[in-house]
Amino acid sequence: MTNQRPLNWLKNPRVQPGSSIDSLQRVIHPGIGREVRKLHRAILGGRMSPLKSLGNLSALLGLGNIWIKDESQRLTLNSFKVLGGSYAIYSLLKEKLGIEDQEEFFAALLDPATATRLRKITFAAATDGNHGRGVAWAAAKLGCPSVIYVHEGTSPARIQAIESYGAKVSIIEGTYDDAVRRINADAKKNGWQVIEDTAWEGYEDIPIRVMQGYTTMFVEIQEQLSGQGFIKPTHIFVQAGVGSLAASTIGYYRMLFGTEAPLTAVVEPETAACIFESARIGDGRPHSFPGNLKTIMAGLSCGDPNPIAWDILRDCAEYFITCPDYVAAKGMRVYATPLKGDPFVLSGESGAITLGTLMFIMQNPEYAPLKEEMGLGLDSQVLLLNTEGNTDPSHFRQVVWEGSDPVPPDYRVV
């Protein structure tokens, strides 16, 4: 059994709350959320994913409230990832067609000649599961083919979910980062349009659009919080793989509230901590994380940061935290077995890491200094993103039913 400490953390000395952030303005500019949400309403319909309140767990932990944006209920896709992929694809097509007006654009999609032209485009992506599923779904809606590369550790359930939308799936030896490099090379040879949430030299526009696509979540959250009488969260814990979601989240709130933005923490698996590693080295540049990146959190198993996302996190995120797998497993079990009166949340491994992290900070005396430094207490309104539901049923049962990845005895709360 592991005796790994639940958390390692560091504070970001680079954050300057009053300064202008050039890296942020490039991606998350005023009005982008409304623009993105307008397109998503047309593509996905008007239904929001729910914002759930864990009031009783909050009281137990000594917090004002814990708010969960539950993306397991985003359509039938079980993940937030469709927001980024669909916005990137549809906004790209608007550009290709030279149409700015949204109504005119969707009318053009119904034109047989336009549809025939668009269906010659093959969309391609590398994924651990959720992003590829979102790209395949959006491509299928347009009648376009899609090619998705997954790494060899991807579960059969996630592969089948992608294939259910008509995508051709290829399994690539190595890690997620190897699949990204391979899809880029093969797309150049075959003329495919790559839709990725990470950037590299010469490929930046699409990842920016993917990151912008995530802002629909935050527009919804702000409306939902307003309906409950709150202006904004006081704290946000957000998970990171390549960092795109984390940068979009933190960037949006920094753009919206400036110096009054919520305090933020980026959380990663300790075996795939490219954002933490970049912050630890401290030279301002993104750095890869070595090793096989093995973690139960498949959606966060990334060794190479998105450099565009890293620039935002370097300038805007206050804390960086890593944790072992048992922290995410605990979060899954707590979501699945809520206190009486709290709602049930169906959360996969990558979705639950932030709840597990928050609980260890609030309940473990070792992290009392971090709790105090972050100002976590009865006045705190903490926002977490449940980024995925039960995307790997076999492993979900192993964790929730069979108790795999248990908390070591030294760190259990009695």
What string of DSSP letters covers 138-164?
HHHHHT--EEEEEETT--HHHHHHHHT
Query: What pTM was estimated for this model as a whole?
Result: 0.96
pLDDT of residue 16: 74
Residues 241, 373 share a domain: yes
| Structural tokens at position 268 | 């990663």
Among 108-117, 166-175, 186-195, which stretch is predicted with the lowest mean pLDDT? 108-117
Q: What is the domain range of residue 345?
A: 8-79+214-411
Q: Which residues are paired to 52 by β-bridges?
A: 68
Query: β-pairing, 65-70 with 51-53?
Result: antiparallel
* Average pLDDT taken over every residue of the chain: 95
Q: Which candidate, 281, 265, 248, 414, places its Cα nearest to that of 354?
A: 265
Last residue of a domain, one of 175, 203, 231: 203
Domain final position from 203, 224, 244 = 203
Question: Looking at the 3D structure of the chain, how many domains does it have?
Answer: 2
Domain boundary at 149, 168, 203, which?
A: 203
Residues catalogued as catalytic: 81, 128
Tens digits of residue pLDDT in 302-333: 999 999 999 999 999 999 999 999 999 999 99
Q: What percent of the chain has pLDDT over 90?
A: 87
Q: Is the pLDDT of residue 173 over 80?
A: yes
Residue whose token pair is 């996969």: 348
Going by pLDDT thresholds of 50, 70 and 90, the confidence category of residue 3 is low
Does residue 372 surpass a pLDDT of 80?
yes
Q: What is the pLDDT of residue 45?
A: 84
Residue at 302 is within a domain: yes
Q: Tokens 């790559």, residue? A: 194
Q: Answer yes or no: is 1 within a domain.
A: no
Does residue 287 sit in the same domain as residue 407? yes
Q: How far is it, in rounded angstroms, from Cα 119 to Cα 133?
A: 18
Let me know whether 369 and 323 are in one domain. yes
Q: Quick one: pLDDT at residue 414?
A: 78
CA dist., res. 177 & res. 213, Å (int): 22
> Is 371 domain-assigned?
yes
- Asked whether residue 209 is domain-assigned, the answer is no
Task: Please indicate, yes or no, whether residues 230 and 188 belong to a single structural domain of this protein.
Answer: no
Q: What is the Cα–Cα distance from 255 to 347, expressed in whole angstroms? A: 29
Provide the residue type at 296 as one letter.
I
119 and 91 assigned to the same domain = yes
| pLDDT of 1 | 38
Residue 339 pLDDT > 90, yes or no?
A: yes
- Is residue 208 a part of any domain in this protein? no
What pLDDT, on the 0 to 100 scale, is given for residue 129?
87
Instruction: Please write the tens of the pLDDT for every residue from 45-80.
Output: 878 999 999 999 999 999 999 999 999 999 889 999
Q: Is the domain of 368 the same as that of 221? A: yes
Asked whether residue 269 falls in the same domain as residue 372, the answer is yes
- Residue 178 counted as domain residue: yes
Residues 29 and 136 placed together within one structural domain of the fold:
no
Give yes or no for residue 19 having a pLDDT over 90.
Answer: no
Instruction: Indicate whether 238 belongs to any domain.
Output: yes
Q: What is the dihedral of CA 218, 254, 328, 361, to 10 degrees?
A: -130
Residue 119 has pLDDT above 90, yes or no: no
Residue 259 has pLDDT above 70, yes or no: yes
Query: Same domain for 218 and 195?
Result: no
Angle at which helices 244-257 and 215-227 cross, to 10° = 50
CATH number for 101: 3.40.50.1100
Tokens of 122: 């093959």
**How far out from the chain centre does Cα 334 lie?**
20
Q: Determine, yes or no, domain membership for 337.
A: yes
Shared domain for 65 and 157, answered yes or no, is no
Q: What is the mean pLDDT of the segment spanning 81-90?
A: 96
Same domain, 75 and 117: no
* Residues 309, 221 share a domain: yes
pLDDT at 262 over 60: yes
Q: What is 298-365 written as a DSSP string?
A: GGG--SS--HHHHHHHHHH--EEEEE-HHHHHHHHHHHHSPPTTSPP----HHHHHHHHHHHHHHH-G
Quote the pLDDT of residue 2.
46
Residue 124 pLDDT class (50, 70, 90 cuts) = very high
**Residue ranges in 12-122 assigned as alpha helix (H):** 22-25, 32-44, 55-61, 81-97, 102-109, 112-118
